């Protein structure tokens, strides 16, 4: 899972990104609902995937529920896969129409 995907999930769960006043590949996040107010660094490696252990640690440090975090991921992946399927069906149908149109000549 990439940094952007993690940030979308964190925002959905109510976490806030703190402003970054320095250089570096980590962004600081905090959960306003959590008991501790310490910022949690989240690595921003661009197109590289974050390791699952790193993501679990971030979720734990932000005092979020791992199961809830996972559910938001599964819901989004399901929506994305159903979009791909519907798009593929549309391409297949247009290809069939084109085939019928040009084969009848």
Task: Give the domain extent around 65.
Answer: 3-103
pTM above 0.75, yes or no: no
Evaluate the CA torsion angle 21, 52, 74, 88 in order and state its sign.
Answer: positive
pLDDT at position 2 is 86
Give the E-state strand segments of the chain in sequence order. 16-17, 26-30, 40-43
Which of 11 and 103 is assigned the larger pLDDT? 11
Reduce the DSSP state of residue 43 to 3 states and report it: strand
Contact residues for 94 (Cβ-Cβ < 8 A; gap 6+): none
How many domains are contained in the chain?
1
Domain of 87: which CATH number? 3.30.920.30
pLDDT at position 57 is 92
């Amino acid at each position: 899972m990439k940094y952007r995907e993690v940030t979308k999930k964190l925002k959905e769960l109510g976490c806030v990104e703190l402003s970054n006043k320095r250089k570096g590949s980590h962004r600081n996040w905090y959960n306003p609902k959590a008991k501790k107010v310490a910022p949690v660094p989240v690595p921003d490696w661009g197109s590289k995937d974050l390791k699952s252990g790193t993501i679990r640690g971030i979720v734990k440090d932000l005092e979020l529920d791992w199961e809830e975090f996972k559910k938001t991921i599964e819901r989004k992946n399901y929506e994305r896969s159903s979009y791909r399927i519907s798009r593929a069906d549309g391409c297949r149908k247009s290809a069939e129409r084109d085939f019928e149109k040009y084969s009848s000549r």
